[in-house]
Structure 1
């Protein structure tokens, strides 16, 4: 079973950087005013920050990372591990983490690694980074999590374009023998992978002239095989069933009382319908469930750290908190994590 109880690692800070361009739902030319209003009310995403074509996820993450290191007062020479979690890396090769090591002037002794795991990405990065630190062989890790996911899809695809926003986040982990254990549970269902897929562009289906031929699938879904697709009904069915069951199992197995032991539940901000259904199934106190999708949209792997910065900044900076996090998506994968935090450094949201 893919479970960990990770010792000796503390989260010291989190930061968030977004582009300065805001696109509201009614700005999309494929929506009528009535359709835009319906989308806002049901999906719940009213605006999102979108990067221009010359800005990559690594650029946003670099700004977030350097700001966080500066406010923590951490010397760049002290960073032992650099993880870059994104499905929108700069190139197929080399790994973007290695490029960021150079651009951020981190030491050559730094371990660098890319993790392209989509909406569960932050939890994957924390799990990998924390396990690397837990023995004390290395002391500090910088996790950069972000995407510019809108450009992965067709700009004519009404089922996908308005769902996503762009951002970069940074999380700082440090070896600490007094830290509470980080509890993690991961699940994988690869047979569901085609529900969230980019059909062409890999070595199974390399890019050809056919990759750029658009097809009209009806209902405003127009895309080519080079574009990322979403099978909305399959994803919705998965997201409201397996992740909530995993959360319930996690809390039961670890003896966690959702009312007494958890300060906040951070649920991946896929869309309002999914989050609302998860909250209902788990019978959560809605005052413990922050939302930010109405302002930021689906931020993929950066969804959970974005909640910490944009909705819980003052609380997490001021006093210890216990967070229970649930994310789900690409793979299909889903995970649950309990993270106990001490007062940490969280800069205000950065706009690039």
Structure 2
């Protein structure tokens, strides 16, 4: 698969949060110790979700000399829509100046959304409903958590990815495993803005995403190891057959807990959170691409990728690089 990404130029370091918190619990050193993150990227005030996705797509076109006008399907995965209606994917379609003949769909999934997007793209191609799919992920995570508790704020950064899935490479995507637990809906959600709880005042705090950190952590330990084992079994592989594992870059504690639970060699797990933070659905493709760029992951490698989070939802597959 051809993958590219975009990270905004504004960088937020731990000193920024330490100056806000003014607490021994959130010094620059303590923030790094808690999260494994030194810096994260922040979209500028005039950058919206569709701008981030468009820049990732344009980077993809430039890097691989792809005419984006030749795609027939555009997918956008985001949890930070620009308007409640219509979907932000139509803004992205317009900003990329794509033909009117293109089908455009939006996926409202967060941290597991990239693999869910691959499932949709692969299904469309195998059913002959599409030949060339552009899958974009983009979220304004920094803004979503800007008014949350400090424990959450320090984790998130902004970013976007773009991936081309087509007939020539669709078979490099293995069998995809997904799961859902709707009983965990309120463990991570945005309370205001929909019809259940409309905005009732001009309050920035109503824009925040609420998260029960301990509950999300326990969900991860409960479901992700099983997800990995099930994905290996579905693809007739075992752990030794996998060259690298790329998990959703939630935070360092979660990544290390998954690694320990599955008894994986740490050298086979990609840790790419220190200078990016948690970018929601973009974290898996960004981590995967950066590991390819720095030569860690090479052609011929088998890579298990897995996302998990809000929903609650989880998904995984194996990519042949």
Same fold (TM over 0.5): yes
Residue in structure 1 matching 2:245, options 265, 270, 280: 265
Q: 2:272 corresponds to which residue?
A: 292
Contact kept? 1:195, 1:231, Cα under 8 Å: yes
- 1:268-306 Cα deviation digits (max 9, x unpaired): 110111110000011111111111111100010001011
Which structure shows the bigger proportion of residues in helix conformation? 2
Q: How far apart, in 1, do the equivalents of 2:228 and 2:270 lie?
A: 17
User: Are the structure 2 counterparts of residues 270 and 311 from structure 1 closer, same or farther at C-alpha, using a change threshold of 3 Å?
Assistant: same
Q: Secondary structure at the match of 1:42?
A: helix
Contact kept? 1:26, 1:33, Cα under 8 Å: no
Q: Which runs of 5+ in 1 are unaligned?
A: 1-10, 214-223, 342-352
User: Are the structure 2 counterparts of residues 314 and 48 from structure 1 closer, same or farther at C-alpha, using a change threshold of 3 Å?
Assistant: closer
User: Are the structure 2 counterparts of residues 49 and 187 from structure 1 closer, same or farther at C-alpha, using a change threshold of 3 Å?
Assistant: same
User: Are the structure 2 counterparts of residues 67 and 263 from structure 1 closer, same or farther at C-alpha, using a change threshold of 3 Å?
Assistant: same
1:126 aligns with 2:118: yes
Q: 1:205 corresponds to which residue?
A: 197
Contact kept? 1:240, 1:278, Cα under 8 Å: yes
User: Are the structure 2 counterparts of residues 147 and 226 from structure 1 closer, same or farther at C-alpha, using a change threshold of 3 Å?
Assistant: closer
- 1:230-265 Cα deviation digits (max 9, x unpaired): 101101111112111221233234331212x11110
Contact kept? 2:291, 2:297, Cα under 8 Å: no
Q: How many residue pairs get matched?
A: 318
Q: 2:213 corresponds to which residue?
A: 232
Contact kept? 1:207, 1:226, Cα under 8 Å: no
Q: How far apart, in 1, do the equivalents of 2:22 and 2:223 lie?
A: 32
Q: 1:344 corresponds to which residue?
A: none
Residue in structure 1 matching 2:49, options 45, 57, 65: 57
Q: 1:20 corresponds to which residue?
A: 9
Residue in structure 1 matching 2:281, options 301, 305, 313: 301
Could you tell me the TM-score, scaled by structure 2's length? 0.93
Residue in structure 2 matching 1:148, options 140, 143, 147: 140
1:78 aligns with 2:59: no
1:184 aligns with 2:165: no
Q: How far apart, in 2, do the equivalents of 1:98 and 1:309 lie?
A: 26
